Structure 1
Amino acid sequence: MKFLNGVTLLLVYQLTGEILVRLLGLPIPGPVLGMVMLFVTLMIRGSAPDSLSEASSALLSHLSLLFVPAGVGMMTHFGRIADEWLPITLALFLSTVITMVATALIMQLTTRWFVRSVSEQGGQHE
Structure 2
Amino acid sequence: MQFLNGITLLLVYQLVGEVTVRLVGLPIPGPVLGMVMLFITLMICGQAPASVDQASSALLSHLSLLFVPAGVGMMAHFGRIADEWLPITLALLLSTVITMVATALIMQLTSRWFVKEAPTEEGSNE
Partner of 1:54 in structure 2? 54
SS at match of 1:105: helix
The Cα offsets for residues 88-119 of structure 1, whole Å up to 9 and x where unpaired, read as: 10000000000000000000000001114xx5
The Cα offsets for residues 67-96 of structure 1, whole Å up to 9 and x where unpaired, read as: 111111111111211111111100000000
In structure 1, runs of 5+ residues without a counterpart are none
Separation of aligned partners in 2, 1:26 and 1:75: 33
Residue 66 of structure 1: how far off its partner (Å): 1.0
Partner of 2:87 in structure 1? 87
Within-5 A mapping of 1:63-78: 63-78=63-78
Separation of aligned partners in 2, 1:78 and 1:15: 33
One-letter amino acid of the structure 1 residue matched with residue 86 of structure 2 = L
Runs of 4+ in 1 over 3 A off after TM superposition: none
In structure 2, runs of 5+ residues without a counterpart are 120-126
Separation of aligned partners in 2, 1:27 and 1:101: 24
Q: How many aligned positions are there?
A: 119
CA RMSD of aligned residues (A): 1.5
Partner of 2:124 in structure 1? none
Separation of aligned partners in 2, 1:24 and 1:83: 38
Structure number having the greater helix percentage: 1
Relative to the length of structure 1, the TM-score reads 0.89
Partner of 1:111 in structure 2? 111
SS at match of 2:115: helix
Separation of aligned partners in 2, 1:73 and 1:26: 28
Partner of 1:16 in structure 2? 16
